Amino acid sequence: MNSANPFALPIDPNQPQPLLQSWLLLSVFSLIAAGLFSLLLVSSRTPGIQSAIPFVDFFHTALVVHVDLSVLIWFLSMSALLWSVQLKKAPKFILLAPALVALGTLIMVISPFVGAGDPLMNNYVPVLQHPLFFFGLNTVGAGIGLQLLYNLMSSSRAGPKSLLSTIIQVSVITTFIALLALVWNYRSIDASLTGTAYYEILFWGPGHILQFSHTVLMLLVWVVLIYALGGQLVTNPKQTSILLLVVALPVLAVPWIYYSSPLESVQQRLAFTDLMKFGGLLSLPIGLICTWKILTIGKVDEALRPIKAALFCSLVLFATGGIIGFLIEGVNVVIPAHYHGSIVGVTLAFMGLIYLVLPKLGYGKVDAKWGRIQPYVYGGGQLMHILGLAWSGGYGVQRKTAGEAQVLERLPEILGMGMMGLGGLISIIGGVIFLVVALKSIFGEPTETETVV
């Protein structure tokens, strides 16, 4: 560990890193696949294009796979990459974890093209009611579960932890709690429930818990990137760590939520909603500190500009999504405007992390020019996308609809959804640029690197 940088990732480029490389490659693959599915989604909701796409049923099927790839697989793969950073000399058998997730992901991707359909648009982990899709989803769960268990066992045998390792381990524990909640729900849920109602209850609590893990890691990545840019926060490293750990404290209320309200009750649903809505405010102190730093950090070396751009855009999108969350009234497209902002905020932070670690894992240099442009294209497009959704939601446009089913009649509705579609297409271009930059580094000539980042 670099004593001058307490938040340096302990990656030794002179040592093979097959576990980290596996999780990184899986993360990039999941974004490639999610991007392909997103092309149809954006087109099917854009005025002037939507009428040419008659496959509304396939829209929902594609939406299921897109959401699972871009939220579940991408986030968990990047989480696992960070979890693996703190492991020292991991045995070869743990490579089975990313292998299982990769296999499960591949099965989920191909399942719509071999007969899987009957989509259910429940929250967090939408599903296709088909044995092949469920086999893929369970295989992904097995891989993540294996990584979690190994991290937990390794932690119990480890000595004193660094500040970085402590925060990463909080994410591990939080994700494990989400997994336990999922198992509890599966064993306790009313057997008479079927369809969307069943899966909504199954994933509701675990999905909310998992968001705290993603938020902690996103904030940690902000801190890691700021230090990598040569900056230091106004708080000292220990105070910074405390502010990061506080973000996960609401998870301690999970046992009380399960104890105080029945699994299928409206009370439990609202309790988890409030837990995330108000518990998320605990990220505000460290978020404001990071925002102040990125605004005052000044110029950085050309090679670091992609990281700075990703960090800035991540802050803007996450803050926008959080503000929109307090504007939700009813079931309309303000809801996806909220969570798209939050999700993209996390995604941009992870993109910045990938730009940082690619050369450290034995890959080539990141293209500084396109790497700097990419976050602004992707983030700017997503900002248009969510503002268009929020505007249209104010006029009552319903969520999870496509094509003519949206019933866009008034000019503000059409303009809002048109803005959504244009922003979505721009963000897809930004996503493609990211993939090109990442793949160019992966297949490029390795660069000489320092011991830690």
* Nearest residue to 75 (alpha-carbon basis) of 321, 343, 359, 295: 343
pLDDT tens digit string along 86-111? 887 788 899 999 999 999 999 999 99
- Amino acid occupying residue 22: S
Q: Looking at the domain assignment, is residue 405 inside a domain? A: yes
DSSP H/E element including 331: none
Return the CATH number at 448.
1.20.120
Specify the number of domains making up the chain: 1
Count of residues in the chain:
453
- What are residue 138's phi and psi, to 5 degrees? -70, -35
Q: Report the alpha-carbon distance of residue 241 to residue 11 in Å, rounded.
A: 20
Residue 43 CA, chain-centre distance (Å), reads 23
pLDDT tens digit string along 145-195? 999 999 998 876 655 578 899 999 999 999 999 999 999 999 999 989 999
Q: Looking at the domain assignment, is residue 37 inside a domain? A: no
DSSP state of 46: S
Q: Report the alpha-carbon distance of residue 310 to residue 356 in Å, rounded.
A: 11
* Nearest residue to 435 (alpha-carbon basis) of 369, 341, 370: 370
Cα torsion at 331, 333, 334, 340 (round to 10°)? 120
Dmax (CA) of the chain: 64
- Amino acid occupying residue 230: G
Q: What angle do CA 223, 229, 230 make, to 5 degrees?
A: 95
DSSP H/E element including 19: helix 18-43
Alpha helices in 68-194 (DSSP H): 74-85, 96-110, 131-157, 163-188
366 Cβ contact list (under 8 Å, min separation 6): 303, 306, 355, 358, 359, 437, 441
Burial class (CB within 10 angstroms; exposed 0-12, middle 13-18, buried 19+) of 159:
exposed
Q: Looking at the domain assignment, is residue 324 inside a domain? A: yes
Take residue 180 and report the two structure tokens written for it.
Answer: 């336990």
- Amino acid occupying residue 171: S
Going by DSSP bridges, is the β-strand pair 119-120/127-128 parallel, antiparallel, or unpaired?
Answer: antiparallel
CB distance 342 to 318 below 8 Å: yes
Q: Looking at the domain assignment, is residue 453 inside a domain? A: yes
Q: Give residue 133's pLDDT.
A: 96
Q: Looking at the domain assignment, is residue 167 inside a domain? A: no
CB distance 430 to 351 below 8 Å: no
DSSP H/E element including 128: strand 127-128
Q: Looking at the domain assignment, is residue 132 inside a domain? A: no
Take residue 40 and report the two structure tokens written for it.
Answer: 């149809």
Alpha helices in 262-304 (DSSP H): 266-279, 284-296
47 three-state secondary structure: coil
Q: Report the alpha-carbon distance of residue 231 to residue 238 in Å, rounded.
A: 16
CB distance 212 to 247 below 8 Å: yes
**pLDDT by 10-residue block (mean), the chain, 453 residues:** 75 85 96 81 58 58 89 96 88 94 96 85 92 96 96 73 90 96 95 92 96 96 95 91 96 96 94 89 94 90 94 93 72 68 92 96 93 95 83 54 46 65 85 94 72 47
List residues bridging with 127 in a β-sheet. Answer: 120
CA dist 118 to 105, 136, 143, 406, Å?
A: 19, 16, 26, 20
- What are residue 15's phi and psi, to 5 degrees? -115, 145
Burial class (CB within 10 angstroms; exposed 0-12, middle 13-18, buried 19+) of 132:
middle
CB distance 176 to 141 below 8 Å: no
Dihedral sign computed on CA atoms, order 88, 92, 97, 101: positive
Could you list the residue range(s) of the whole structural domain that residue 446 is in? 304-453
